[in-house]
Amino acid sequence: MIRGLYTSGWSMLANTKQMDVISNNLANVNTNAYKRDTVVYESFPEVLVKRINDSKSTDNPTGRVGGMHLGNDVGEVFTYYARGQLTKTDRSLDMAIADSDLAFFTVAVPLDNGNFVQRYTRDGAFLLNANGQLVTKEGYFVMGEGGIITLGSEDFTVLEDGTILENGQTVGRLLISEFENENVLRKIGENLVEAAGAPPNEFTGAVKQGYIEQSNVNAITEMVNMITVMRAYEANQKVLHAHDEALEKAVNEVGRIR
């Protein structure tokens, strides 16, 4: 009976984690190029149950009761890197990556020691700072193959291979990193991802100037998932309540002398 309490309680914790992921997806449904997450469940490993402070039994001096499974637990949060829909904006500083799910714009993120580290984003809603440098909305430098990209104005053209032309002259080429496996990628916040030691491959997609990639979150699907999780949580809650009532009767009524 006590095991049922633990199993139901642990399942409620797992449902809470899944609800957090779904809520985050819905909160970012309008975030440029946001990639939705989903929870992957796994069987909770078997644990050994042992009596505490009760090892004097001659039949079972170890105090071991046996194994117990606590149901399911959240194994990982998996990210779907499928491309979102491209929306035309006709703004020269807006760029999107087409024909590749695992290609990213490369940005330079400053560290506390003054150095920079490469990170990656699909959000191509760029800006020009006071020095004419191409930056993200957070102010991170957008990297080209030759370093930071500097432009004279917003009147420029970006070819599909990432080459930037200004007044008919090549001023640089976007450094676009394409990865073979999404398992090396990890979200780090601010719509950025990092790659775990995997070198990028040659870019095989196309850059679309004047377009923005939308989130790949389907709001209707996420709402349905939210309702499903709420019902699962309520079911575990009822089971937990039933176990609690049974324990109350066992303690207060079973064996009562009348």
Beta bridge partners of 79: 37
pLDDT of 65 over the 80 cut: no
| Structure token digits, residue 214 | 């939308």
pLDDT tens digits along 49-60? 666 666 566 666
pLDDT of 63 over the 70 cut: no
pLDDT of 70 over the 90 cut: no
Integer Cα distance of 218 and 257 in angstroms: 61
Helix and strand totals (H; E) in the chain: 2, 20
Give 35 or 3, the one with higher predicted confidence. Answer: 35
Taking residues 36-64, what's their average pLDDT? 71
- Give the count of beta carbons closer than 10 Å to the beta carbon of residue 99: 13
Q: Which amino acid is at 218?
A: N
pLDDT of 12 over the 70 cut: yes
pLDDT tens digits along 154-171? 999 999 999 999 988 999
Integer Cα distance of 150 and 148 in angstroms: 6
* pLDDT on residue 248: 79
Integer Cα distance of 52 and 56 in angstroms: 11
pLDDT tens digits along 171-217? 999 999 999 889 899 999 999 999 987 778 889 899 999 999 999 99
